[in-house]
């Protein structure tokens, strides 16, 4: 017992000395989250940089749950290039606690965004009743002059402020409040007029965790830029399973000439975008194919195996390694040729495929990408 008490006294004394030497505080910094920026790896596409952007986010200055600086921290941590705060003009549920000021979230975050190399674009959400619904305006000037009441007779006037500021306008989540996203919302006269007057530039196809399929068809048919955004209100890490390697917040991939706000604007107006929601892509066929070709490569055949077919004829099967040089996810199903029937290319990974000898390529349906609500692009894997 005496030996036990002596040992205990020694340990307590040693702990006391250690604590005292550290200013009476024992710091456990090794348990803190490391300060690091994730890198979303996507190669350049035919000379264009692929910028990652989220142009639909909220803070406590409308109906979000966080202070503006948190959105900059999240964007930096998650590897985004550009963001926009799009606070509701007509909907400010925290006005008893937070002063109504639709420019304040931008003003509070402007310096922090610049210091963290995040392109911060001025924006707002014009929040009308549904229909016609909600519209985001990017590259605006002063956000304080927008109509704040929701009188339906003022719907067109509410948009006029964005027109006066030469904003890039897109229609948000057109299937919102629909009974089913797949089939119960329609193209409406109000939006049709905006599109014909060249006021409406884009449409959200992916909004958060929702795929508004009809919106993709409208984008293709009416020449609208495909958009994808998180519409985040809570912490991003609260709503998305970021621990899964192919899960990211929903965002727009922009094929930009350079990393600048001016190039982003030019690309949006030119329609050079692809919508990205973790495993899924959506957009114009040409852009998705170019993106896929930039990310995926097939190495030369490294092995060949002889066998005989059902008729006893000798055949040869060649082996290839297919590499995904990006953090995108691609799922392919064979549609033409004689080779591996299905391929799943996880981010920054490779797979082994086989193909019968004598073929120059295999054609696959990229089922994780959409070029219309019911159509996937066909991509080609060249065999060497």
**DSSP letter (8 states) at residue 177:** T
d(CA 304, CA 301): 8
* Region 136-140 average pLDDT: 98
- Would you state the pLDDT for residue 153? 95
Residue 7 clears pLDDT 80, i.e. is over it: no
CB count within 10 Å of CB 281 equals: 27
Q: Per-residue pLDDT tens for 293-348?
A: 999 999 999 999 988 777 778 889 999 999 999 999 999 999 999 999 999 999 99
d(CA 136, CA 146): 12
Residue 184 clears pLDDT 90, i.e. is over it: no
pLDDT > 90 in the chain, percent: 84
The full 3-state SS of 195-249, as one line of letters, equals HHCCCEEEEEEEECCEECHHHHHHHHHHCCEEEEECCECCCHHHHCCCCCCCCCC
* Region 351-378 average pLDDT: 97
Opening angle at CA 56, ends 51 and 59, nearest 5: 120
Report whether 367 contacts 376 (CB < 8 A). Answer: yes
Q: Per-residue pLDDT tens for 187-244?
A: 999 999 999 999 999 999 999 999 999 999 999 999 999 999 999 999 999 999 999 9
Q: Distance from first CA to last CA of the chain, Å, rounded? A: 79
Residue 179 clears pLDDT 70, i.e. is over it: no
Q: Per-residue pLDDT tens for 50-109?
A: 999 999 999 999 999 999 999 999 999 999 999 999 999 999 999 999 999 999 999 999
Residues pairing with 251 in the sheet: 276
- Would you state the pLDDT for residue 17? 47
Residues pairing with 49 in the sheet: 256
d(CA 236, CA 242): 9
- Identify the residue with better confidence: 338 or 26: 338
Q: Beta strand 134-138 with 168-171: parallel, antiparallel or unpaired? A: antiparallel
d(CA 358, CA 32): 56
- Would you state the pLDDT for residue 20? 46
Residue 2 clears pLDDT 70, i.e. is over it: no
Looking up tokens 């020694």 gives 10
* 3-class state of residue 372 by DSSP: strand
Ordered structural domains, the chain, with CATH: 31-283 (3.20.20.140), 296-382 (2.60.40)
Beta strands in the chain (DSSP E): 49-57, 82-85, 119-127, 134-138, 168-171, 200-207, 210-211, 225-229, 251-256, 273-277, 280-283, 296-298, 303-308, 314-324, 330-336, 342-345, 349-356, 361-366, 369-370, 378-382
Residue 174 clears pLDDT 80, i.e. is over it: yes
Q: Per-residue pLDDT tens for 28-50?
A: 989 998 888 999 999 999 999 99
């Amino acid at each position: 017992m005496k030996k036990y008490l002596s040992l205990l006294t020694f340990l307590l004394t040693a702990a006391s000395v250690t604590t005292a030497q550290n200013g009476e505080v024992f710091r456990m910094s090794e348990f803190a989250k490391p300060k690091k920026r994730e890198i979303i790896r996507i190669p350049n596409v035919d000379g264009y940089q692929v910028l990652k952007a989220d142009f639909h986010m909220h803070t406590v200055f409308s109906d979000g749950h966080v202070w503006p600086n948190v959105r900059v921290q999240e964007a930096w941590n998650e590897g985004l290039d550009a963001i926009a705060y799009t606070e509701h003009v007509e909907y400010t549920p925290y006005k008893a606690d937070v002063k109504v000021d639709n420019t304040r979230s931008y003003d509070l975050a402007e310096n922090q965004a610049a210091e963290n190399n995040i392109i911060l674009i001025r924006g707002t959400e014009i929040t009308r009743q549904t229909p016609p619904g909600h519209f985001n305006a990017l590259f605006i000037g002063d956000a304080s002059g927008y109509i704040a009441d929701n009188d339906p007779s003022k719907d067109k006037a509410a948009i006029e402020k964005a027109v006066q500021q030469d904003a890039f306008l897109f229609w948000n989540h057109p299937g919102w409040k629909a009974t089913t996203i797949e089939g119960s919302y329609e193209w409406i006269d109000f939006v049709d007029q905006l599109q014909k007057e060249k006021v409406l530039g884009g449409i959200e196809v992916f909004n958060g965790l929702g795929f508004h399929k009809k919106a993709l068809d409208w984008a293709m048919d009416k020449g609208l830029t495909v958009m994808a955004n998180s519409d985040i209100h809570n912490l991003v890490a609260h709503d998305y399973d970021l621990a899964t390697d192919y899960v990211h917040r929903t965002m727009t991939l922009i094929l930009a000439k350079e990393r600048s706000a001016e190039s982003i604007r030019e690309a949006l107006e030119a329609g050079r975008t692809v919508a990205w929601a973790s495993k899924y892509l959506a957009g114009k066929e040409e852009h998705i194919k170019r993106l896929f070709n930039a990310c995926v490569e097939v190495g030369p055949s490294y092995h060949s195996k002889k066998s005989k077919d059902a008729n006893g004829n000798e055949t040869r099967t060649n082996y290839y390694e297919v590499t995904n040089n990006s953090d995108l996810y691609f799922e392919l199903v064979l549609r033409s040729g004689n080779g591996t029937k299905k391929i799943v290319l996880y981010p920054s990974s490779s797979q082994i495929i086989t193909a019968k000898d004598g073929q120059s390529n295999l054609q696959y349906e990229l089922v994780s990408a959409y070029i219309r609500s019911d159509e996937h692009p066909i991509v080609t894997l060249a065999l060497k």
